Amino acid sequence: MYHLVVFASGNGSTLQAIIDSINHHELEAQIDLVVSDNSNAYALKRAEANNIATYTIQSKNFAQRDLELSNILSKYSIDLIVLAGYLKMIGPNLLENYTIINTHPSLLPKYGGKGMHGMHVHEAVVAAKEKVSGATIHFVNQEYDKGAIIRQTKIEVLPSDTAEEVSQKVQAAEKIQLIQVLNDFVNHKI
C-alpha cells in the first residue's frame, strides 16, 4: 500500500478529494496522517470523520516546528507528503527525508510565492485580466512555490469571471490533476 501524509491549514477540500478517490478505488493509497498548523482547520474534522489520525503542530518557531514534525513523522512509513492548502514553509529536516509535493492554484511561476494562496491568487488573476489560469503541482523545496513543476492544468478565464468563479474552475481542475499525479506516484511513473 502507498502511504500518504497530508498537510492542510484550512477547509481541506483537496484532502476530501483524496479521501473520496481512495474510497471509490480510483487511488490505491491510504492516508496515514493529516497534519495541520491550525487546530480549527476543517481538514482535521474531515480526517476524523474518515478515521484518519490527525496531528496539530504546537511549535510556532520555524526550527522547532521542523524538529517537531520530524519527530512525529518518524513514527510513520511515508511514501509521499502532500501539501494541500498548507501555508507554512517546510523545514530542512523534512525536505531531506521525504518527497513532498504541493498543489498551487495558478500556473506557476505566475502568482506564486509568500502570501499568494487561495483567493489572493484568483483576485490577482482577475485584476491582471489574465485569459488563462490553472493549477500546478510541484515538488517542494526551500522556497515558496519554486520547486520543479510536475504538472499543470489550464483553465479559461472569461472577461466576466469573478475571482470566486475562477477559484471554482481552478479547484475542479486541481483535484482531477492531483489524483492523476498521485496515481503516477503510486505506479512509480514519477
Quote the pLDDT of residue 82: 98
* CA dist 100 → 4, 52, 130 (Å): 10, 19, 29
**Number of structural domains the chain divides into:** 1
- Cβ neighbours of residue 89 closer than 8 Å, sequence gap 6 or more: 62, 142, 144
Quote the pLDDT of residue 175: 95
Q: Give, for all 190 residues of the chain, the pLDDT tens digit.
A: 999 999 999 999 999 999 999 999 999 999 999 999 999 999 999 999 999 999 999 999 999 999 999 999 999 999 999 999 998 999 999 999 999 999 999 999 999 998 899 999 999 999 999 999 999 999 999 999 999 999 999 999 999 999 999 999 999 999 999 999 999 999 999 9
Record the cell numbers describing residue 72, joined without a space: 512525529
Closest CA to 150 of 116, 113, 104, 91: 104
Is 160 inside a domain boundary? Answer: no
Which domain CATH number covers 85?
Answer: 3.40.50.170
Is 106 inside a domain boundary? Answer: yes
Residue 156 Cα to chain centre, angstroms: 22
Annotated catalytic, 104?
A: yes
Spatial separation of the C-alpha atoms in residues 151 and 14, rounded to whole Å: 16
Q: 97-117 pLDDT, tens per residue?
A: 999 999 999 999 999 998 899
One of 104, 117, 122, 138 is an active-site residue; which one?
104
Quote the pLDDT of residue 107: 98
Is 129 inside a domain boundary? Answer: no
Strand partners, 5: 33, 81
Quote the pLDDT of residue 76: 97
Its domain, for residue 99, covers 2-123+136-152+172-186
Quote the pLDDT of residue 190: 94
Amino acid sitting at position 169 = K
- Cβ neighbours of residue 51 closer than 8 Å, sequence gap 6 or more: none
* CA dist 97 → 10, 53, 73, 74, 92 (Å): 25, 21, 10, 10, 9
Quote the pLDDT of residue 44: 98
Quote the pLDDT of residue 179: 98
Spatial separation of the C-alpha atoms in residues 138 and 112, rounded to whole Å: 12
